[in-house]
Structure 1
Amino acid sequence: MVRTIALLIGAGFVFVLGIALFGTVSTAISDPAPETAEHEFHLHPKDAHLPSAGLVGKFDRQQLQRGLKVYQEVCAACHSLKFVSFRDFEQLGYSEGQVKALAQAWPIEQPSVNPDTGEAATRKNIPSDRVPSPYPNEVAARAANNNALPPDLSLMTKARHDGANYVASLLTGYQNQPAELLRKFPDAKTPTGLHYNPYFANLNIAMPPPLTSDGQVTYDDGTQPTKQQMANDVAAFLTWTAEPNLESRHGAGLATVIFLAIFVFLTIGAYRNVWRGVKH
């Protein structure tokens, strides 16, 4: 009796789900969602061909240093990097002394308190400090950016789909709205204070173009600082900030695959050796 009741309840539940699914599909067919500018003109990020991409990708230390310089001279004026300490930059190939000098020369200092007066003050950065935010709080950040809050970039390439390619494409994707977009969607004109970028989710982004011209940053290694090169370099750097252990993870994954391949080969050999005298 209990089993019969349970079966009836289950059948009723499935029946109700079937009706709901049928209604949803019927509505989608008879009354499809209207086309939107975001759906039609949003672009998938272009492949930046970073060395860290792929199953066995590795970081290019020189590229990471170039990316740090782009962040320092272009991005740090608005975006924080709160999960990264200055001493972490030793992983990019800098010596302890270079990291100390970099921290002290950083344009934004650490908040502090004057021990004599008790008033707010600032001090030079030291290697153990986190990279400081350009704003004291969220209110100040919004006030300086037309009420838009610049996101922290520490984990940006993990927070966005196809993150490294997204960053590189977004930085080089600013353009005028296509005439076709305005013809098909007259109400989709970019609002005042925003900027059209087809790689951004809703096509209009509050951040002005950060990379405005070639040569905006001077590289120490002589690399030509084109806009695309700077975008790729800072995307590589932000890939490292989001996952500094990427190379170790790739190495462990490759070792695991090799181990499993050898294990499978040995298992097949053992199986054939044990059962070779048995007739099927």
Structure 2
Amino acid sequence: MVRIIGGLVGLAFAVMALVGFISTTVGAIQEPEKPTAEHEFHKGPEELKLASNGPFGHFDNQQLQRGFQVYKEVCSACHSLKLVSFRDLQQIGYSEAEVKAIASQWAIETPAPNPETGEMATRKNLPSDRFPAPFANDIAARAANNNAVPPDLSLMTKARHDGPAYVHSLLTGYQNQPAELLRKFPDAKTPKGLHYNPYFANLNLAMAPPLTSDGQVQYTDGTKPTVNQMATDVAAFLTWTAEPKLQTRHAAGWASVLFLVIFCFLTWGAYKSVWRDTKH
């Protein structure tokens, strides 16, 4: 009796699931989802070639230093790097003295209690400090950025699909709304205070174009600072902030592959040696 009841209950659930599936399918056929501007005009990131790409990828310190310069002079006004310390810059070729100078001359100082009064104050940054946030809190960030909180960039290239290419495409992708978009979706006009960018998920973002013209940053190594070059360099720098041990990981991976290849040959040789006198 219990088995019969259990079977009937299971059958009832199966019938209900089947009915739900059929009704959903019929509804989708009869009333298909209306296309949206985001679905039709959103673009995936354009391909970006960096030295760090691929299994043999490595960092180009000269490019990383240029990217850091772009971050320092352009991006740091709004975006933080809360997971990166000043002393980490030694990994991309800066000397200890240069790191000390960069830290002490950084525009925003580190909050710290006054040793005499105990009240909160600020002090010059030390190499061991992490990059200070440009805003005291989210309220201040929203007030300065059209009610949007600029995201931290430490892990940005890991947080987005094809992150380096996404960063580059976003920085170079600002444009006027296409006439076709406004014709097909007249209600999708970019709101006042936002900026159209087809590489952003909903096509409109609060961040104004940060790289507006060639020569906005003056490189010290002679590289021509075009908008495309600056976007590429800062994307490379953010690739390093997100995965500073990339080169070590690649080296460890290839060492493991080499070990496994050698181990396979040694195993095969041992097998042939042990069983060479055995008749099959």
Deviation at 1:16, TM superposition (A): 4.3
Distance apart, 1:266 and its partner CA: 5.2
Partner in structure 1 of residue 248 of structure 2: 248
Percent sequence identity is: 67
Counterpart position of 1:69: 69
Are the structure 2 counterparts of residues 122 and 38 from structure 1 closer, same or farther at C-alpha, using a change threshold of 3 Å? same
Moved more, 180-189 or 19-28: 19-28
Give me the CA root mean square deviation: 2.5
Q: What is the aligned partner in structure 2 of residue 148 from structure 1?
A: 148
For residue 48 of structure 2, what is the aligned residue in structure 1?
48
The answer to whether the aligner puts 1:225 opposite 2:225 as a matched pair is yes
Instruction: Evaluate the alpha carbon distance shift between residue 275 and residue 38 of structure 1 in structure 2; reply closer, same or farther with a 3 A threshold.
Output: farther
Tell me the residue number matched to 1:106.
106
Q: Which amino acid aligns with 2:45?
A: P
Structure 2 counterpart SS, 1:68: helix
Query: Number of residues paired by the alignment?
Result: 279
* CA gap 1:184/1:64 in 2 versus in 1, 3 angstroms: same
> In terms of mean alpha carbon deviation, does 134-143 or 244-253 score higher?
244-253
How far apart, in 1, do the equivalents of 2:179 and 2:277 lie?
Answer: 73
TM-score by length of 2: 0.90
For structure 1, the 5+ residue unaligned runs are none
SS in 1 for 2:101: helix
Tell me the amino acid that sits aligned with residue 53 of structure 2.
A
How far apart, CA to CA, are the structure 2 residues paired with 1:190 and 1:152? 25
1:128 positional shift: 0.7
Aligned mates of 2:26, 2:261 — CA distance in 1: 48
Provide the C-alpha distance between the structure 1 equivalents of 2:25 and 2:260, rounded to a whole number of angstroms.
44
TM value normalised by structure 1 = 0.90
- Give, in angstroms, the shift of residue 115 of structure 1: 4.0
**Shift of residue 4 of structure 1?**
7.5
Secondary structure in structure 1 of the residue aligned to 2:77: coil
Query: Which secondary structure state, in structure 2, belongs to the residue aligned with residue 126 of structure 1?
Result: coil
> Aligned partners of 1:91 and 1:71: how far apart in 2?
17
Distance 1:246 1:231 in 2: 21
Distance (Å, rounded) in 1 between the aligned partners of 2:4 and 2:247: 57
Amino acid at match of 1:63: Q
In 2: Cα distance, 1:277 partner to 1:13 partner: 62
Match for residue 203 of structure 1?
203
3-state DSSP of counterpart to 2:57 = coil
After TM superposition, the structure 1 stretch with the greater mean CA deviation from structure 2, 19-28 or 51-60, is: 19-28
